[in-house]
Structure 1
Amino acid sequence: MSTTPAIAPPATTTAPASPAAEARETDGGSGGPHARRFGLPIATCLVMGNIIGGGIFLLPASVAPFGTISLVAFGILTLGAIALALVFGRLAERLPHTGGPYVYARAAFGDFAGFLAAWTYWITSWVSNAALAVAAVGYLSVLFPAVADHTWSMCLAALAVQWLPALANLAGTRWVGTVQVVATVLKFAPLLLVAVGGLFFFDPANLGPFQATGQSPVGALSASAAILLFSYLGVESAAVSAGEVRDPARNVGRATVLGTVGAAVVYLLGTLAVFGLVAHDRLVTSEAPFTDAVNAMFGGTWGGTVVACAAVVSMLGALNGWTLLSAQTPYAAAKDGLFPKAFETKRRGVPVTGVVVTVLLASALTVYNYTAGSAGVFESLVLITTFTATVPYLLSTAAQIHLLLTGRSEQVHRGRLVRDGVIAALAFGFSMWLVAGAGYAAVYQGVLFLFAGVPVYAVMAARKSRATA
């Protein structure tokens, strides 16, 4: 028997009373041919497409400086990601509404916790979009070498990579789903080529040292895991878009677990293969490690060029999904009066204000990082998202623990209660470990982003109080 929570879901996120009402809500009350609810296959593709976005195509080079100990970190991270996926799946069964972590935190702990989850998840989304665009530039330069000739050419390329998926989102959820399926299929060809075929060309001499830094083993594990977390951002994708998924109480959990496990297999095999195909001293400076890996397998550059094409398509697909997610959470919060009302605007199933504001902020951050001339732009952005992502993750796992402890005992299956409690505790501890591994600079910048939302909440809460007075 399932646990019935002792708290009610937010009133404004109550599920529509009928399929017709459900369709109207999904499309912002307008209906139309460009809005469509996702089934299990597309929901799974959304999860896998957002997890296997662009990060995997650059992350082997980002963690190579730590040595092969980063492969151990990847394994631990995979177990933590699966625990988070199981938590989100169980939460979606109880609260199958658009918003994901925002809905769960608000239902368990009230408006302020919900706002913090929405605010930090929104920050994570658009900062991640900027990081993905930066990663895409490395592979674009393989296809068009002139892109890497000047800072401004790289910046303009990154901006173009962000705006194309935004335009697909503005065309409606039907286009979002189509782009996501196509991108997910296309990205698997080069990933599987390297993940499986690369093992036949594996050379242990390329692995380099087990620990390449002066840190302790625990410190090296934490630091590399903090960067690698970026590769697993997206486990909550189906939960955030639950309002656009058919039968969300059933399909969201399945899509979340299936997408995460599938991504994990590809990740682990792919990263191991790249480490064994590209010499360590070359890998640490590589701008396109999967391209280098395929070139090492077949010689010449044709294979690497094909991989670069697939990598760019993959990142465009990830940005397509992340742009939708970045608009869904503020949309849900705006429905409850915790984000500006403009974020409620929905056309063709897509919260258009959220899409536009998100891409503008990501573009501004991209321009700032390129013009500031900071080294390691991708790594800097990734570490910021590591901290901001753990806030909604921590609040969600805490909400799951709260729901388990406050459920009516006569309706709780004790075997499931113990299992869900252990998984939630592991996911919470895992998220705390990631905060510790992000480093002081990333936590400092992340906290600044977090606190910047407090006055926004103060204004929105005051407006809400006046409206209900």
Structure 2
Amino acid sequence: MSRKIGFWSVFALVTGSQIGSGVFTLPALLAPYGAFSMAGWVIAGAGAVALALVFGGLCSQFPRTGGPHVYAQQAFGADAAFFTGWTYWVISWVSTTAVIVASIGYLSPLIGNQSAEVNLLLEIALLLAITGLNLKGVQAAGHAEFLLTLLKFGILLVIPIVALTHFNPNNLVMMPEMSAQSTPQLLSQVALLTLWGFIGLESATAPAGCVKDACKTIPRAIIFGTLCVAALYIINSVGIMGLIPAAELAQSKAPYVDAAERIFGGGWHLVISIMASIACIGTLNAWMLASGQVALGLAEDGLLPRFFGRKNIHEAPHNGLLTSCVGIIPLLVLTCSHSLNHQITAIIDFSVVAFLFVYLMCGLAHVKVLRKQACCSVYKWVYTCVAIGFCLWVLYETPLKTLIIASLFVISGVPAYALWYKRQLRRA
């Protein structure tokens, strides 16, 4: 029996990787910008779709397990592939940590405010449960992701659509402290905020070896999934921001809870907490699946020890998954102290920039692919240039300190490169 997954499971991975805790916090973060926030969604959405087209094109050319490092290897050689794959693998741990913390944190209205130690135990239990699910194989994880995505889309559409019936355009007003900034500054700030919502669009390329007709299925799922995510984000932002005045929304710690109480009243905050947790758990499952497949792909290409390429009876890369799980637990321990929450949030911001390094590498790899094609449409060159330009623009607008710290994710691969990878090359 085939253990490969089809279009809808891949679609669920694409959307599940992108729709996480950000969808519940971004309306509050964007509230001070008023109608300018819509421009941010348009810019980030256009950049995300261009990147989706790039990844779709690359995957159709190289439908192999691993994702980004495969494209870097084809275009720039093994050294570039090693650092691209290493960076992608390591930053997935950080992103996963934040999602786990959010998954349990959103349940606090339901389970009460527990001690930091109890929350840590719940977080580790959730991580172990999702790791166990992925150890059952890509097919089991893919089917679970599809069900979680159906729940996500269903409940994430209800509140904003109902909120649109209470839409007040006067609520989409820029707050006074923002009016002193220039239009380019405002656009760059809202684009940087909204970009977080699309991180993960490429995750479906990682399990390419486990996808039916990968060269066609994955590109279609990436493009269609990213378009659906963009539409969902815009509906949510317009609905919530049009319902709650900007000054009040900007101070909200739980925009969806406030929106539900305005619309329905009663104890709907409990429903919202469950909804938010489900959304985060879906993202966690997608990232764990991708993390194992990235390690598998790196091992199959000789960029990590063969240890990470071993599979269990379910064809799951158990050593890669367990290594990711073990690597995430210390990060969860760090978040146990509330005093470190701000620090962890900052690390997440750095990981977004590190993701852009990977995206930029893949965009440049696509340029090399297009140059080798005898007949290439102008359309492909346009969206590739848009994707590269978008990455460069966001990096240009990023503070130098953030760029330097984000580069540490890349540099962290130097010891493994020097102590293991280079020795392997000399032996070969």
TM-score by shorter chain over 0.5:
yes
Q: Name structure 2 gaps, 5 residues minimum.
A: none
Q: Residue 140 of structure 2 aligns with which residue? A: 175
Matched, 1:362 2:339: no
Q: Distance in 1 between matches of 2:182 and 2:318?
A: 47
Distance 1:145 1:61, change over 3 A: farther
Q: Distance in 2 between matches of 1:438 and 1:370?
A: 29
Specify whether residues 161 and 95 from structure 1 end up closer, same or farther in structure 2 by C-alpha distance, changes over 3 A only. Answer: same
Q: 1:2-32 deviations in whole A, cap 9, x for unaligned? A: xxxxxxxxxxxxxxxxxxxxxxxxxxxxxxx
Specify which of 451, 464, 467 is matched with residue 411 of structure 2: 451
Match of 2:67 in 1: 100
Task: Give, in whole Å, the separation in 2 of the partners of 1:264 and 1:281.
Answer: 25
1:273 to 229, 234, 239: 239
**Using a 3 Å threshold, how does the CA distance of structure 1 residues 230 and 453 change in structure 2: closer, same or farther?**
same
Letter in 1 for 2:427: A
For 2:427 and 2:288, locate their aligned partners in 1 and report how far apart those are by CA, in whole Å. Answer: 31
Deviates more, 1:176-185 or 1:131-140: 131-140
Query: What do residues 19-49 of structure 1 show as CA deviations (whole Å, max 9, x unaligned)?
Result: xxxxxxxxxxxxxx7x721111111111111
TM-score by length of 2: 0.92
Count of aligned pairs: 426
What is residue 15 of structure 2 aligned with on the other side?
Answer: 48
Return the alpha-carbon distance in structure 2 between the equivalents of residues 275 and 404 of structure 1: 42
Superposed CA RMSD: 2.2
Following the alignment from structure 2 to structure 1, what is the Cα–Cα distance between the partners of residues 176 and 326? 40
User: Which of 370, 376, 397 is residue 363 of structure 2 equivalent to?
Assistant: 397
Separation in 1, partners of 2:121, 2:32: 29
1:435 to 389, 395, 412: 395
SS at match of 1:146: coil
In the alignment, is residue 298 of structure 1 matched against residue 264 of structure 2?
Answer: yes
Mapped to 2, the partners of 1:310 and 1:204 lie a distance apart of 27
Letter in 1 for 2:403: V
Q: Which amino acid aligns with 1:200?
A: T
Amino acid at match of 1:252: I
- Give distance in 2, aligned partners of 1:71 and 1:154: 36
**Partner residue, 1:13:** none
Q: Distance in 2 between matches of 1:326 and 1:86?
A: 22
| Cα offsets for 1:312-338 (capped at 9, x unmatched) | 112111101110111211221112221
SS in 2 for 1:349: coil
Distance in 2 between residues matched to 1:438 and 1:179, nearest whole Å: 36
Find the residue that maps to 1:359 and give its secondary structure: helix
Cα 1:211/1:88, change in 2 over 3 Å? farther
Q: How does 1:230-249 map to 2 (within 5 A)?
A: 230-249=196-215
Contact residue 10 and residue 221 of structure 2 kept, 8 A: yes
The amino acid of 1:426's aligned partner reads V
Stretches of structure 1 that go unaligned for 5 or more consecutive residues are 1-32
Residues 89 and 77 of structure 1: CA distance in aligned 2, closer, same or farther (over 3 Å) = same
Quickly say closer, same or farther: Cα 1:316–1:84, change in 2 above 3 A: same
Letter in 1 for 2:295: P
- Is residue 262 from structure 1 mapped to residue 228 from structure 2 by the alignment? yes
Change (3 A) 1:160 1:84: same
For 1:313, the equivalent position in structure 2 comes to: 278
Q: What corresponds to 1:76 in structure 2? A: 43
One-letter code of the match for 1:341? R
- Structure 2 CA distance, aligned partners of 1:438 and 1:300? 43
> Is the 8 Å Cα contact of residues 401 and 424 (structure 1) preserved in structure 2?
yes
- CA deviation after TM superposition for structure 1 residue 445, in Å: 2.0
* Partner-residue secondary structure (3-state), 2:274: helix
The 8 Å contact of residues 54 and 132 in structure 1, kept in 2 or not, is answered as: yes
Distance 1:251 1:456, change over 3 A: same
Q: Which residue of 2 aligns with 1:120?
A: 87
Amino acid paired to 2:385: A
Question: Which residue in 1 is equivalent to 2:420?
Answer: 460
AA of the residue aligned to 1:298: F
CA–CA distance in structure 1, aligned partners of residues 251 and 336 of structure 2 = 18
Please list the CA deviations of residues 293-350 of structure 1 after superposition, one character each: whole Å capped at 9, or x if unmatched: 2222112222x32222122112111101110111211221112221233211222232
Worse-matched range after superposition: 214-223 or 103-112: 214-223
- Judged with a 3 Å threshold, the aligned counterparts in structure 2 of structure 1 residues 272 and 381 are, in CA distance, closer, same or farther, namely farther
How far apart are the structure 1 equivalents of 2:161 and 2:296?
41
* Aligned counterparts of 1:317 and 1:256: Cα–Cα separation in 2: 17
Partners of 1:185 and 1:453 in 2: how far apart? 37
Within a 5 Å distance, the mapping from 1:120-159 to structure 2 comes to: 120-147=87-114, 150-159=115-124
Give the TM-score normalised by the residue count of structure 1: 0.85
